[in-house]
Amino acid sequence: MNPEKKGINTICTHEGGVEDVLFKGATSPIYTSTSYAFEDVDVKRYPRYFNTPNQEALGKKLAALEHAEQAMIFGSGMAAISTALLTFLQAGDHVVFQQTLYGGTYNLAVTQLERFGISYSFTTGWQVEDFERELRDNTKLIYIETPSNPLLTITDLAGVANFAKSKGIMTMIDNTFASPINQNPIDFGIDMVCHSATKYMGGHSDICAGVVASSKENMERVYQTAICFGGSLSDYTVWLLERSLKTMGLRVKEQNANAAKMAAYLVENPDIVHVHYPGLEDHPDHLLAKSQMKGFGGMLSFELSDEVDVSQFFKQLKLIKPSMSLAGLESTVSSPVTTSHALMSPEDRQKQGIKDSLVRFSLGIENIEDLTGDIEQAIKEVKSMQVHA
């Protein structure tokens, strides 16, 4: 069967495994060797060449999930993103980045690209015309992120892809927040998809990994860069990631549902100033998100009122974990200004609309009543502390 014709949970469970031909086990065996034979073999295998049995098998599952011809697994999301960017950019080239962007990618752009003679610019918004305004004669690539981190803005996938193709420009996306369960950018014409597999793909807050998926031609070029940079992943972690991917469809479905319920609750909470979630009908890009996403995702962000100190709010939570990362089974919150976007200047954060009172919320699979109850008690406790201060 064609993987694209199979159901998503079938792909998650069965595609891209390593067959246990010796004992007929239900799960993939782990090949942990870092040294393989080189004579009388079809493939000379080495972990840094991304071609061990577990690496190859997982790449097939990831490609099937993103409707790509090929995919590769890396040691982190930033290893994947930096390798992909430096594969298709060289001295004298220019790249356009979307304004609302993960802080690590932003930091890569502003601290590293000019060292390689690569110029860059950031859009002032995330509409197609915003990208068009930033084009130069030497623009070779447009990089987008949708939904964006942490404000959940939505970029028109087909619009950007069609515009870029008309100019002969490559497109690349960070699809981490959506996951391949909720969004498949290649279906809309985007050339290359990147992920921090640490997030929804891993899903248990115990794996650090990254993904690049694209056409066979593009991935052959990525491979040549990747073997030089050495950002491969240990086969034990590759095996753990394959295990986690089997339940991704089930996990993300539940996280989608929880995020929708939480967003509705937060909108009605008088201590919350603003809620950023594309599933809300009053989100400015709600209809666009609905047209290109299968689910609105498990991520949202919100701003606390001036009466609720953010740091104290985090300290008073009993169930929801203040945590650096996201997308695990457990619900977590973070402060973008001190974590994901700490490397950005206050001025640049302000330009993006990232306020000090902003809370990024990653919904897990807990019962929603327990999560809303935790938020209520935390806010109540903080306000009580401030009254008695």
CA separation for the pair 200, 178 (Å, rounded): 9
Task: Give the separation between CA 297 and CA 259, rounded to whole angstroms.
Answer: 7
199 is catalytic: yes
Q: What is the DSSP letter of 30?
A: P
- Sequence-distant (6+) residues with CB within 8 A of 85 are 95, 108, 113, 141, 143, 172
Quick check: is 235 catalytic? Answer: no
Q: Is 360 known to be catalytic?
A: no
Pairing of strands 321-322, 332-334: parallel
Tokens of 309: 């100190």
Closest CA to 169 of 146, 217, 120, 135: 135
Q: Which of 102, 106, 143, 223 is catalytic?
A: 102
DSSP secondary structure code for residue 340 in this structure? T
Q: Which helix (H) or strand (E) holds 145?
A: strand 139-145
From the list 45, 199, 349, 355, the catalytic residue is: 199
102 included as an active-site residue:
yes
Catalytic residue among 6, 36, 48, 187: 48
Q: Is 27 helix (H, G, I), strand (E, B) or coil?
A: coil
Name residue 143's beta-bridge partners.
Answer: 97, 172
Q: Give the whole-angstrom CA distance, residue 103 versus residue 337.
A: 10
Residue-wise DSSP of 200-266: TTT-SS----EEEEE-HHHHHHHHHHHHHHT----HHHHHHHHHHHTTHHHHHHHHHHHHHHHHHHH
Task: Please identify which of the residues 93, 174, 191, 235 carries the catalytic annotation.
Answer: 174
Determine the angle formed by the axes of helices 235-245 and 53-65, rounding to 10 degrees: 30
CA pseudo-torsion sign 347, 307, 373, 281: negative
Active site residues: 48, 102, 174, 199
